[in-house]
Amino acid sequence: MTLPATELTSTLPTCDFTVFGGTGDLALRKLLPALYQREREGQLPADTRIIGVSRSSIDDAGYRDLVHDALDEHVPHDDLDAAVVARLVARVSHVALDIEEPDGWHLLHGLLKDRLGDQDAVRVFYLAVSPTLFGPICERLDQIGVVDGRARVVMEKPVGHDLASAREVNEAVGRVFDEPQIFRIDHYLGKESVQNLLVTRFANTFLEPLWNSHWVDHVQITVSETLGVGDRGGYYDTAGALRDMVQNHLLQLLCLVAMEPPTYVGRETVRDEKLKVLQALKPMTPTDVDRDTVRGRYVAGLVDGKPVPSYVDDVGHPGSGTETYVALRTEVQNWRWAGVPFYLRTGKRMDRRLSEIVVVFKEPPHAMFPHSEGGTPANRLHIQVQPDEGMRLHMTAKEPGPGGIRLRPVSLDLSYATAFSQRSPDAYERLLMDVIRGNPTLFMRRDEVEAAWTWVEPILRRWASAPDRPKRYPAGTSGPTAAATLLERDGRTWQESDQ
Ligand code: BG6
């Protein structure tokens, strides 16, 4: 799955990169800084154009100022180079467009038309807007004649709000673009550490024989954030943590941990294997939902020593029923994983920012050392996705010294920052280059997205009808106590990364 280093810097075709939502948070915070980094590496061909589309009436100069400020704010200072900023900003223009009005579409067509029919030029349409606009925008793009075999569309998550709306979006976009032209982004798949998961599993032999229900007791996947909902409250309040994080990022991580090795790493092979995992997830009945899921919502508290308001104050919606935290237990019902629980948890305004996968192995079958009657601790492999990418294997060793054998936990540590000196590119850098190159391996296929919604939907339905509301947890803590109980019930505990 991981692309050779050269692919990140390989030459790209000429591209017109159009971003719908060009003045929005995602474009300014993530997409333009990512394009800047690729410009800095000299990867963007001289004739690449970047077109921001939004309803704002700013002109090209105004948009360039906006982009300039965004780069200043979101590119690490050591990476900022005035000449590169000037080169990138010179590629940028803006089209003011109201989806219902023909004028903006004419302008866009006018900008793109000189390269229509050029077999060497790629046109990317990045939809960083609400999913309800995905279908209508694609339809208009088709009407103005800018969609051909060299065009690609990129959809930001969430694709839909539930299974039915995801299908509708997929149908609408699919009427204009063929599946190989559709790139559904889950930016977790572009993270170096997430791609590395596959390499760790399948480019090394020692783990794979242990990677199954014979040796693995359970798996924990944690994505915890200290951030709240920021200025995305309007979207978030209609989504919640299950739709925003579990349906996509956490399930994708689970897929990469649980999938079978594909015969080779190709455009479809990895996605085929991930799909099989999603289809093997144990379906939840209403009773399972009540027993195996916990939803929470932060109230006012302290994060990094600073007071922060409650979620309902953040979004200005006192009656909100939206969850900002989810913990759940599931199983992958196949030969490899039968009976092994997978515990997932994610939350906003937590005590720490940490994304981590912990594979907890079974305890040694027999306590043969004196003073180890209580059993020797199980081995644990912590795969840290962020912030400090790396891996830690918790083992048991003999404490040095005479006078018998005393056991002590120790860890084998691998820090990627120490092992590799080069900058780790942001997920969007790789993903945007893959779109332009036309490589869909790290994007979600339609069937994957729909399978993920199929599994999530019974939880959404049960939560919508259940009388209880999300459990409260103070901001800056590790979530509701019910999440700890979920594991305690099985005789287990959440493994915190410093344990
Ligand atoms: C996004 C979610 O997909 O991922 C956000 O919509 C979340 O709510 C973000 O904050 C987390 O991404 P990262 O890369 O910071 O872990």
Whether the model pTM is above 0.85: yes
Complete DSSP assignment for 194-250? HHHHHHHHHS-SSSGGGSSTTTEEEEEEEEE-S---TT-HHHHHHH-HIIIIIIIII
- Taking the alpha carbons at both ends of the chain, their separation in whole angstroms is 31
Instruction: Tell me, in angstroms, the distance from the centre of ligand 1 to residue 365's CA.
Output: 40
Atom of ligand 1 nearest to the CA of 188: 14
How far apart CA 202 and CA 273 sit, in angstroms, is 13
10 Å Cβ neighbour count for 273?
A: 18
How far apart CA 315 and CA 7 sit, in angstroms, is 42
225 lines ligand 1 (CB under 6 A): yes
- Would you call 249 a catalytic residue per the annotation? yes
116 pLDDT band, cuts 50/70/90, is confident
Residue 7 has pLDDT above 70, yes or no: no
Instruction: Tell me, in angstroms, the distance from the centre of ligand 1 to residue 224's CA.
Output: 10
CA distances to 331, 338, 491 from 341, rounded to whole Å, are 5, 9, 12
Residue 476 has pLDDT above 90, yes or no: yes
Under a CB-based contact definition with an 8 Å cutoff, are residues 219 and 336 in contact? no
Atom of ligand 1 nearest to the CA of 244: 6
How far apart CA 140 and CA 175 sit, in angstroms, is 12
Q: In this predicted structure, what is the pLDDT of residue 237?
A: 96
Under a CB-based contact definition with an 8 Å cutoff, are residues 486 and 343 in contact? yes
Atom of ligand 1 nearest to the CA of 348: 10
123 CB-near residues (< 8 Å, 6+ apart): 15, 16, 18, 112, 115, 146, 147, 150, 151, 152
> Per mean pLDDT, which of 95-104, 115-124, 401-410 is the most reliable?
95-104
244 lines ligand 1 (CB under 6 A): yes
Instruction: Tell me, in angstroms, the distance from the centre of ligand 1 to residue 472's CA.
Output: 21
Is the model more confident about 406 or about 309? 309
Q: Which helix (H) or strand (E) holds 50?
A: strand 49-54
Q: In this predicted structure, what is the pLDDT of residue 375?
A: 64
365 pLDDT band, cuts 50/70/90, is confident
How far apart CA 422 and CA 33 sit, in angstroms, is 18
Strand locations in 407-457 (E): 407-415
Q: What is the largest CA-CA distance in the chain?
A: 86
Reported as half-sphere exposure (CB side, CA atoms, 13 A), residue 270 has a value of: 23
CA distances to 188, 224, 448 from 357, rounded to whole Å, are 13, 12, 21
Q: Give the length of the chain.
A: 499
Q: Burial, 83: exposed, middle or buried (Cβ in 10 Å; 0-12, 13-18, 19+)? A: exposed
9 pLDDT band, cuts 50/70/90, is low
CA distances to 2, 193, 324 from 190, rounded to whole Å, are 9, 9, 24
Which SS3 state, helix, strand or coil, does residue 131 take?
helix
Q: Which two tokens stand for residue 296?
A: 């929470």
Beta bridge partners, 368, equal none
Under a CB-based contact definition with an 8 Å cutoff, are residues 380 and 360 in contact? yes
356 lines ligand 1 (CB under 6 A): no
- Nearest C-alpha neighbor of 232 from the set 155, 301, 315: 315
- Candidate list 187, 249, 382, 394, residue with the active-site label: 249
Instruction: Tell me, in angstroms, the distance from the centre of ligand 1 to residue 164's CA.
Output: 24
- Nearest C-alpha neighbor of 451 from the set 291, 286, 251, 287: 251
As a whole number, mean pLDDT of residues 31-39 equals 97
Q: In this predicted structure, what is the pLDDT of residue 468?
A: 83
Which SS3 state, helix, strand or coil, does residue 437 take?
helix
How far apart CA 331 and CA 324 sit, in angstroms, is 23
Phi-psi category of 123—alpha, beta or left, where left has phi over 0 and alpha has psi -120 to 50?
A: beta
Under a CB-based contact definition with an 8 Å cutoff, are residues 137 and 99 in contact? yes
10 Å Cβ neighbour count for 416?
A: 15
Percent of the chain with pLDDT over 90: 83
- Lowest mean pLDDT across 179-183, 335-339, 399-403, 442-446: 399-403
According to DSSP, the β-strands at 182-184 and 471-474 are unpaired
How far apart CA 248 and CA 78 sit, in angstroms, is 33
3 pLDDT band, cuts 50/70/90, is very low
Q: Which two tokens stand for residue 358?
A: 């912990």
By alpha-carbon position, which residue is closest to atom 2 of ligand 1? 244
Q: Burial, 418: exposed, middle or buried (Cβ in 10 Å; 0-12, 13-18, 19+)? A: exposed
Q: Burial, 476: exposed, middle or buried (Cβ in 10 Å; 0-12, 13-18, 19+)? A: buried
Q: Which two tokens stand for residue 226?
A: 């200290």
Instruction: Tell me, in angstroms, the distance from the centre of ligand 1 to residue 243's CA.
Output: 12
Atom of ligand 1 nearest to the CA of 353: 16
According to DSSP, the β-strands at 92-96 and 121-127 are unpaired
Residue 86 has pLDDT above 80, yes or no: yes
Ligand 1 pocket test, pick from 26, 237, 244, 449 with the greatest ligand atom count within 8 Å of Cβ, gives 244
Provide the residue type at 213 as one letter. S
How far apart CA 91 and CA 64 sit, in angstroms, is 9
pLDDT averaged over every residue in the chain: 93
